[in-house]
Amino acid sequence: MARARIVDPDEGPRSKRAAILEAAVEYFGEAGYENTKWSDVADRVGIGQTALYHYFESKAHCLLTIMRLELQRSHDMFAEATADLDDPVEALRAGVRAAFAVSEHEIRQMRVLQANMSLLATPRKSKREETERVAARQLVQMVERDWTNLLMRGMAKGAFPVRDAHMLGLAVLGMIVSVWRWYRPSGAIPLSEISDLIEGSVVRMVGE
Partner DNA sequence: GCTCAAACTGAACTGAACTCAGGTTGAAAT
Partner DNA sequence: ATTTCAACCTGAGTTCAGTTCAGTTTGAGC
Q: Tell whether residue 12 is a contact of DNA (CB under 7 A).
A: yes
Cα end-to-end span (Å), the chain: 35
**Beta carbon of residue 12, minimum distance to its own copies (angstroms, whole number):** 33
**89 vs 119, which CB is nearer to its own copies?**
119
What is the phi-psi region of residue 32: left when phi exceeds 0, alpha when psi lies from -120 to 50, beta otherwise?
left
Q: How far is the CB of 3 from its own copies (least distance, A)?
A: 25
Between the alpha carbon of residue 171 and those of residues 13, 29, 140, 183, the distances in Å are 44, 24, 14, 19
Q: According to the binding rule CB under 8 A, does residue 119 interact with its own copies?
A: yes
Q: Which of 142, 17, 130, 129 is nearest to 72 (CA)?
A: 142
Q: Determine, following the binding rule CB under 7 A, whether residue 54 of this chain makes contact with DNA.
A: yes
Residue number with CB closer to DNA (59 or 68):
59
**In sequence order, what DSSP letters do the residues of 45-105 get, joined into one string?**
HTS-GGGGGGT-SSHHHHHHHHHHHHHHHHHHHHHHHHTT--SHHHHHHHHHHHHH---HH
Q: Which stretch binds its own copies (CB under 8 A): 5-13, 77-85, 86-94, 195-203?
A: 195-203
Stretch that binds DNA, among 44-52, 102-110, 184-192, 195-203 (CB under 7 A): 44-52
Q: Which residue in 59, 68, 108, 133 binds DNA (CB under 7 A)?
A: 59
Measured over the CA atoms of residue 5, residue 125, residue 74 and residue 198, the dihedral's sign is negative
Does residue number 43 form part of the binding site for DNA (CB under 7 A)?
no
CB of 159 to its own copies, least distance (A): 15
Which one of DNA, its own copies, none interacts with residue 31, CB within 5 to 8 A by kind? Answer: its own copies
Closest CA to 115 of 159, 181, 52: 181
One-letter amino acid identity for 156? A
The residue within the footprint of DNA, chosen from 6, 47, 142, 177 (CB under 7 A), is: 47
| Phi/psi at 190 (5° precision) | -70, 145
In the list 79, 142, 171, 191, the residue contacting its own copies (rule: CB under 8 A) is 171
Closest to DNA by CB, 57 vs 144, is: 57
